[in-house]
A and B are shown apart, each in its own frame.
Chain A
Amino acid sequence: MAGSLALALVLGLAGLSFVMRAIGPFLPNIPAAIMQRTTGLAPALLAALVAIQLTGPNGLLHLDVKVPAVILAALLSALRLPLIVCVVAGALLAALLRAVFHL
């Protein structure tokens, strides 16, 4: 990615993040009904991100070594292991399967 585009991306995301973190300390009285709605965002978005990562360039599901990596990450996460352990284990499993089976 070109430097100027990367800079625009960083500043855009930084601006959004700053405003989101600043809203509460600035205006502590946002109606609970609005806050309630935002609780659905994170699970929907994260599940969509997982799904998108499992699709190929044509947008269709492309099942490869990432699938067992995701299953292992979910399993370790269910065992309440730290986030970084789940991620590293998933990546290592994918690398191992690729090296052994040339997937």
Chain B
Amino acid sequence: MPATRSVREILLTAAPLGLAVFVFGVSFGVLAIAARFPGWAAVLMSALVFAGSAQFAALGVITAGGSAVTAVLAGGLLNLRYIATGIAVARSLPGGPLVRALLGQLVVDESYAMAAGAGEPGRPDRRTLLVTGASLYTVWVLGTLIGTLLGPVLGNPTRLGLDAAFPALFTALLWPMLSGRHAVRCAIGGALVALVLAPFTPPGVPLAGAALLGLWLAR
């Protein structure tokens, strides 16, 4: 039975995560500038979307020459998992449906993981969720802002290997998910569908095809 922790204890535990999220936010800002995405829009995106993988996916689509609609869909598809985490945290949130829906915006992978670890099985710890979520939100937006200011100073992104940062990021996000046979099958199928469709279809269609295959293969 985990004891209730103070805000200070929660913040100390979340500090290494906060540092990582901050650096991540900086790199998002830098890459947005490199992709010729307006700096203010990158900061606004971090403030309103608050989801690293979805934001990087949207930016990756733009960098690859895809449309804004495709970018929104790619980011949105990656955020579908937040429906699941939203259901998981629903009973931990206070207030009526509207307040819960607003507080639910503080759920990201990291805050959910911390809260699930601190709470009882099936009931993530409310205070850990909200304190971690709010502090990660702050450093994410701040990091993005600093990244957009650094972007023009850093210059040519390929020289720094920043174009390789996207596939490296998606690989590092994917790897821990490959724990079961279903996930491996979905990943291999998704990559194959994307590679087969890419030469013949506009950007975005390969991703949509992979997503459909993922839905179909997951059982």
**Cross-chain contact B68 with A38 (CB below 8 angstroms):** no
5 contacts between A and B (CB under 8 A): A17-B48, A21-B105, A42-B81, A65-B161, A70-B164
CB <8 Å contact, B48 and A14: yes
Let me know if A73 and B76 touch, CB within 8 A: no
Q: How many angstroms from the CA of A76 to the CA of B171 in the assembled complex?
A: 10
Contact residues in A for B78 (Cβ distance below 8 Å) = 41-42, 45-46
> Is B97's CB within 8 Å of the partner chain A?
yes
Which residues of B pack against A, CB within 8 Å?
20, 23-24, 27, 35-38, 41, 44-45, 48-51, 53-55, 57-58, 60, 62, 64-65, 68-69, 71-72, 74-91, 93, 97, 100-105, 107, 158-178, 182-184, 186-195, 198-201, 203, 206-207, 209-211, 213-219
For the complex, give the distance between the alpha carbons of A10 and B100 in Å: 23
- Taking a contact as CB atoms under 8 Å apart, the answer to whether A98 and B159 are in contact is yes
User: Counting chain A CB atoms within 10 Å of each CB, which of B69, B100, B191 scores highest?
Assistant: B191
Q: Shortest beta-carbon distance, B60 to chain A, in Å? A: 6
Mark each residue of chain A from 61 to 103: 1 if its CB lies under 8 Å from any CB of chain B, else 0.
1000110011011101110001110111111111110110000
B193: shortest Cβ distance to chain A, in Å? 7
Give the chain B neighbours of A70 by CB distance below 8 A. 164, 167-168, 171
Neighbour of A24 across the interface among B86, B169, B189, CB < 8 A: B86
Q: A3-B41, A25-B104, A38-B80 are in contact. Are A86 and B49 (CB under 8 A)?
A: no
